[in-house]
Amino acid sequence: MAEPSRDALAALVAPHLPPGQHLARLVPIGTGKHNRSYWVEARSGQRWVLRVAPADDTGLLFYERRMMRQEPDLHRLIRARTTIPLAEVVTADFTRARLDRDWLLLSALPGCPLSQAGLDPTSTGHVLTSVGRHLRQLHALLATDCLGQRAYGYLGAHRPMAPQPTWDAAFGLMWNRLLDDVVACGCYTQEQAGILRAAYERHQHHFRRPVEPHLLHMDVWAENILVDEHGHLSGLVDFDRALWGDPEIEFAVLDYCGLSQPPFWAGYGRERDTSPAAQIRQRFYLLYELQKHMPIAVWRFHDPAGAAGYHAQALALAEPLLSETA
């Protein structure tokens, strides 16, 4: 499908600006890899952020389809129960009445992405400490309290999976659904996927442990961390991949993105489990984060060489899990 024109997008958002504010222009925001984002600038100088989801016929992972639909409820919940700097959702339209895709209009947070801030190591460490403090608050939100159900998995309005009664069941379903996507994009054979499915079944007992359904961001990296002009954390953005489950999988995303550093842990205020069982779970969680890049490379970036690189990394990471005695 053709991308909507800026004139069409301007016509959508203009009626939702506060009284007396007149739209001046829409300016593309270069960061972000999934949604298209724009600064919505008024003649007064005030601005907002428009986020437009990709079309449904874009190559999407199983949990990415219409995942923006969970953000309004999550933003309200997080803003009400934590001090995490999070944008207010001004309006959201998921009706497809005037556009063939979902979109959100958000208040603008100050600052720029950490990836563009040019901070020295000490200042970066201070930011990561703040990220740790805020993720500790996020992880304190439990589905039992916030949603009224003890359930695990992607529980938002996009409903990519059925809620599961335990974390090991939820992750097993997520693991297999993601392997389906990797097979569908041509990067794994059915035999390779079958070996990885069997590996999880063999190790599933390591996931059967008491764990509450914590709210997890699942996409904390340098472009989703905002930093103000003084080098202080000013926002966390892009909660559309959020799920409810074991914080250890969140830590694996931070590992993958290079943010799991001592300043983060100082802010988070808890020591990480480094037991042999936790190390096995960590390897599965890293694989879950890594394997998604194969379908993304094939379907969205048309980059078979990049997908082949991820394929090689994934098989090397998986190797210790494949032994019958592991």
pLDDT in tens, 41-89: 999 999 999 999 999 989 999 999 999 999 999 999 999 999 999 999 9
Take residue 303 and report the two structure tokens written for it: 């980059």
* Amino acid 34: pLDDT: 87
pLDDT in tens, 234-273: 999 999 999 999 999 999 999 999 999 999 999 999 999 9
Output the pTM of the full model: 0.95
Give the mean pLDDT of 9-16.
Answer: 92
Measure the CA–CA gap between 235 and 107, rounded to whole angstroms.
11
Instruction: Name the pLDDT band for 230 (thresholds 50, 70, 90).
Output: very high
Q: Do residues 211 and 245 lie in contact, with contact meaning Cβ atoms separated by under 8 Å?
A: yes
Fold of 112-321: Aminoglycoside 3'-phosphotransferase; Chain: A, domain 2 (3.90.1200)
Does this chain's domain 6-107 share its CATH topology with 112-321? no
How many alpha carbons lie under 13 Å from residue 154 in its C-beta half-sphere? 27
**Contacts of 191 by beta carbon, 8 Å cutoff, 6+ apart:** none
Measure the CA–CA gap between 302 and 305, rounded to whole angstroms.
9
pLDDT in tens, 149-168: 999 999 999 999 999 999 99
Fold of 6-107: Phosphorylase Kinase; domain 1 (3.30.200)
Give the mean pLDDT of 186-202.
Answer: 97
**Contacts of 294 by beta carbon, 8 Å cutoff, 6+ apart:** 182, 185, 187, 188, 307, 310, 311, 314
129-149 burial, b at 16+ Cβ within 10 Å, e below that, comes to: bbbbbbbeebbebebeebbee
How are the residues of the chain apportioned to helix, strand and coil, as percentages rounded to the nearest 5? 45, 15, 40
Q: Three-state SS across 175-208?
A: HHHHHHHHHHCCCCCHHHHHHHHHHHHHHHHHCC
Mapped onto helix, strand or coil, the DSSP state of residue 152 is strand
* Amino acid 324: pLDDT: 59
Measure the CA–CA gap between 296 and 318, rounded to whole angstroms.
20
Measure the CA–CA gap between 128 and 193, rounded to whole angstroms.
36
* Amino acid 152: pLDDT: 98
Q: What's the one-letter identity of residue 258?
A: G
**Contacts of 145 by beta carbon, 8 Å cutoff, 6+ apart:** none
pLDDT in tens, 123-139: 999 999 999 999 999 99
Q: What's the one-letter identity of residue 192?
A: Q
Measure the CA–CA gap between 296 and 214, rounded to whole angstroms.
27
H/E segment holding residue 72: helix 71-81
**So where are the chain's domains?**
6-107, 112-321
